[in-house]
């Protein structure tokens, strides 16, 4: 699944989409944009499509990615620790980073009920978009896409 705010690069998948970032966190692999650039468009699409939810799927996805990094980028995959209790998994509390980021861009933070109603991928995405090292221009569009902020008004000329 590619989100609407990611549509500008969906065809080529030139950037690592949130669904792949989500799977990377599950699999415990650090993937650089440089390594991603070595993958073919079908390689990238397979990483988007391939399931990565059960332990067996995560292991298969990880093995597939490790092979791609070796074959396409000529490098060894960098393994990282998997967070057993990431903040996005807790649906009963809106993380401070998300609330703070919403306020900083002029939006009301999501209510707990709204946060809880989001999918794990949506919660992960919003939390990821609060990080200083990430493209934060997509936070507002993601909030709107997820139904957490009003649509931008189009002014008539």
Domain containing 75 equals: 4-79
Residue 61 contacts residue 52 (beta carbons within 8 Å): yes
Question: How high does pLDDT run on average in the chain?
Answer: 90
End residue of a domain, out of 79, 111, 128: 79
The pLDDT assigned to 135 comes to 58
* Cα–Cα distance measured from residue 30 to residue 58, given in angstroms and rounded to the nearest whole number: 14
pLDDT tens, position by position, 90-146: 999 999 999 999 999 899 999 999 999 999 999 999 999 998 765 568 899 999 999
* Cα–Cα distance measured from residue 93 to residue 71, given in angstroms and rounded to the nearest whole number: 42
In 3-state terms, what secondary structure has residue 105?
A: coil
The pLDDT assigned to 11 comes to 62
Please indicate, yes or no, whether residues 101 and 69 belong to a single structural domain of this protein: no
pTM, to two decimals: 0.89
């Amino acid at each position: 699944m590619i989100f609407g705010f990611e549509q500008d690069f969906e065809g080529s998948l030139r950037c690592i989409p949130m669904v792949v970032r989500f799977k990377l966190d599950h699999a415990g692999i650090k993937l650089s944009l440089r390594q991603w650039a070595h993958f073919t468009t079908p390689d990238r699409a397979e990483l988007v499509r391939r399931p990565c939810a059960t332990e067996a799927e995560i292991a298969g996805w990880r093995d597939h990615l490790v092979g791609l990094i070796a074959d396409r980028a000529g490098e060894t995959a960098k393994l990282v620790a998997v967070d057993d209790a990431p903040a996005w998994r807790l649906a009963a509390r809106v993380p401070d980073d998300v609330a703070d980021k919403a306020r900083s861009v002029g939006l009301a933070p999501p209510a707990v009920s709204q946060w809880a109603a989001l999918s794990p991928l949506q919660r992960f995405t919003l939390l990821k978009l609060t990080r200083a090292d990430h493209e934060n221009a997509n936070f507002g569009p993601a909030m709107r896409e997820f139904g957490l902020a009003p649509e931008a008004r189009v002014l008539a000329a």
